[in-house]
Structure 1
Amino acid sequence: MISIMSLIVMSICTIMALLATTLTKKSTNDREKMSPFECGFDPMSSARIPFSLRFFLVTVIFLIFDVEIALLLPMTIINQMINMYSWSLVSMLFLMILLIGLFHEWNQGALDWAE
């Protein structure tokens, strides 16, 4: 009885493994479908095309301001832990540095998309 059940289980497992390999196989092996998709770049073109410096600059600006937001959010919680004068002094200094950086980026033309 146990040998018959183990034979049935082994045959079902074998059939399921064979069906899984045959049914999930891709029907079309197109070169474009088999290549990885890399952030909107054409995978079939040359990999040595010049990289857009504007894209890199916008990415760096986004990361900088994203980290600044992550530093600003805990300031509301710290407000209750320290005295109001030192908290306002530190937060105003931090915001002034952010605003000076933003105006500098604006004057340098890093935020202009019209070019």
Structure 2
Amino acid sequence: MLIIYLIVLMTLTITTSIMLISSILSKKTVLDREKMSPFECGFDPKTSARLPFSLRFFLIAVIFLIFDVEITLLLPLANVSPFTNIFSWSFSGLFFILILLLGLYFEWYKGALEWSN
């Protein structure tokens, strides 16, 4: 067990020292305006390098991500059904689905699912 602790300590020491040395050596001291500007074949850029981003698309993506994670939390419920009490299994599953439906209804009520405006 002592050998494992020594190996972990030595690994952490080596990686920390390498990260510190690399951060000290890689500091940029000269900030040149020409080097910091975007480069387009030697000419000044005609338009902004930043494109406009749709906030509604981002909200729909976050809602999808939340519901996707909740579905992955529901999947193990089918695997544990033979090992649990049927009442507690059905109550927890229905309660979780009720929370999902309430969240969906709230998003629908607030208009976050309306794509065209």
TM tier relative to shorter chain: 0.5 to 0.7
After superposition, the Cα gap between the structure-2 partners of 1:104 and 1:80, relative to the gap in structure 1 and judged at 3 Å, is same
* Partner secondary structure for residue 92 of structure 1: helix
- Please list every run of 5 or more consecutive structure 2 residues that lacks an aligned counterpart in the other structure: 1-39, 41-45
Quick one: which amino acid aligns to residue 78 of structure 2?
T
Task: From the superposition, tell whether residues 48 and 78 of structure 1 become closer, same or farther in structure 2 (CA, over 3 Å).
Answer: same
Residue type matched to 1:47 in 2?
A
TM-score (ref. length: structure 1): 0.58
Contact 2:56 2:115 in 1 (8 A): no
Q: Which has the higher contact order (CA 8 A, sep 6+)?
A: 2
CA RMSD of aligned residues (A): 2.1
- Aligned equivalents of 2:106, 2:49: Cα separation in 1: 34
Structure 2 CA distance, aligned partners of 1:45 and 1:66?
A: 37
Would the alpha carbon gap of residues 80 and 114 (structure 1) be closer, same or farther in structure 2, given more than 3 Å must change? same
Residues 36-64 of structure 1 deviation map (CA, whole Å, 9 limit, x = unaligned): xxxxxxxx852344421101101100100
Provide the TM-score with structure 2 as the length reference: 0.57
Residues 77, 93 of structure 2: 8 Å contact kept: yes
Paired residues, number: 74
Number of the residue aligned with 1:70: 72
Q: Which runs of 4+ in 1 moved over 4 A?
A: none
Cα distance per residue 1:20-78 (max 9 Å; x no partner): xxxxxxxxxxx7xxxxxxxxxxxx85234442110110110010011011011111111
Structure 1 unaligned blocks of 5 or more: 1-30, 32-43
